[in-house]
Amino acid sequence: MPKIVDHDERRREVLSAASRVIVRDGIDAATTRAIAKEAGYSNGVLAHYFADKDEILLSALRGSHRRIRDRLTGKVAGLTGLAALREVLLDNLPLDDERAAETRLEVSFWSRSLAAERLAEVQRAEAGELRAAVRELLGQAREAGELAMDDDLDDVAERLLALMDGLSLRLLLHPDRLSRDDVERLMLQTLERL
């Protein structure tokens, strides 16, 4: 009897292996060979599921974003305006091990996107969704009278997202200077002053 292969399951295993290699050894080290070894498959099996290394990396990034969205959907259920915005921004900071791994994956893609237009396009599309969500919640917050400042909300959204990216990066690069509590506090301070 032929072995029954669950193709979706195999793809998930490969992507999970790719994420582990990137987070542990860096995106430079995530060759198709290294990913195959981590997943316990041959290079040939990998080639059956993914056209090239970039397709594996992109699928891993999209998978990570999907998991973040699913988790976040639970956290903001029933919330609107500033309360929902707080959850969105805090959830995107590397405040626990799971989110630290997600952020390491994200930072790895930043530099790679600068040299690879195909990766950059995907990253722009995904970042666009998050920006739209933040902008929408700021609009709700203003409608509800929760904002003291009368700044242009597109500007506020950009500043908050830049702060989120910068704090995420600095927590990963400077664990000697910044703790997770520090980074959470710095983001909350900023939200209190909106």
| Alpha-carbon gap, residue 138 to 159, rounded angstroms | 12
* 123 binding its own copies? (CB under 8 A): yes
Structure token digits, residue 136: 């929408």
Q: Which residues of 154-180 are buried (b: 16+ CB within 10 A; e: fewer)?
A: eebbeebbebbbebbeebeeeeeeeee
Please, which of residues 96-115 interact with its own copies by CB under 8 A?
104, 107-108, 110-115
Question: Which residue's entry shows tokens 């041959």?
Answer: 42
Residue 167 makes contact with its own copies by CB under 8 A: yes
Q: What is the dihedral of CA 25, 28, 32, 34, to 10 degrees?
A: -30
Confirm or reject binding of residue 12 to its own copies (CB under 8 A).
no
Position among 140, 170, 180, 191 found at the interface with its own copies (CB under 8 A): 170
The 20-59 contact track toward its own copies, x by CB under 8 A, reads: ----xxxxxx------------------------------
From candidates 45, 76, 83, 178, binder to its own copies by CB under 8 A: 178
- Residue 139 has φ and ψ, to the nearest 5°, of -60, -45
Residues that bind its own copies (CB under 8 A): 24-29, 104, 107-108, 110-116, 120, 123-124, 127-128, 131, 151, 155, 158-159, 161-167, 169-170, 172-174, 176-178, 182, 185-186, 189-190
